[in-house]
Amino acid sequence: MAALWVRSPLTAETITAEIAQPQGWTEATVKTLINRLLNKGAIRAEKDGRRYLYSPVLARMDYVTTESEGLLARLFGGRLAPLVSHFSEQRKLSVQDIAELKALIAELDEDDD
């Protein structure tokens, strides 16, 4: 999906060339993934001569929103604070992460005023 969000439409060969080696996947694995994404309706295929051109159906932001809401619901009862707390307890928050969270909270506080 990431390759298609960056640039589309793409052929299966182009997708394979872009993602197979970095992921350690074979051409067959990439084509299986493409077929699964087609079957799920996440991408569409348009015939172009003897080949197909693939494009995303879902916008990246829509996908991120759906997946992040699902993660929060499954693991943290739909609440964001326990997620942040978990990363904090596991020492997975960098100084930059903490600064960005503080800025976000300050911005949210300003919006409430």
Query: Given a cut of 90, is residue 111 above it in pLDDT?
Result: no
Give the DSSP per-residue string, 43-84.
Answer: EEEEEETTEEEEEESS-HHHHHHHHHHHHHHHHHTT-HHHHH
> Nearest Cα to 9, choosing from 59, 35, 60, 44?
44
Pairing of strands 51-56, 43-48: antiparallel
- What's this model's pTM, rounded to 2 decimal places? 0.68
CATH of 60-112, one of 3.90.1310, 1.10.1760, 1.10.4040, 1.20.1050: 1.10.4040
CATH of 2-56, one of 3.60.10.10, 3.40.50.300, 1.20.1330.10, 1.10.10.10: 1.10.10.10
Strand, coil or helix: 35: helix
pLDDT in tens, 57-92: 989 999 899 899 999 999 999 998 898 888 888 877
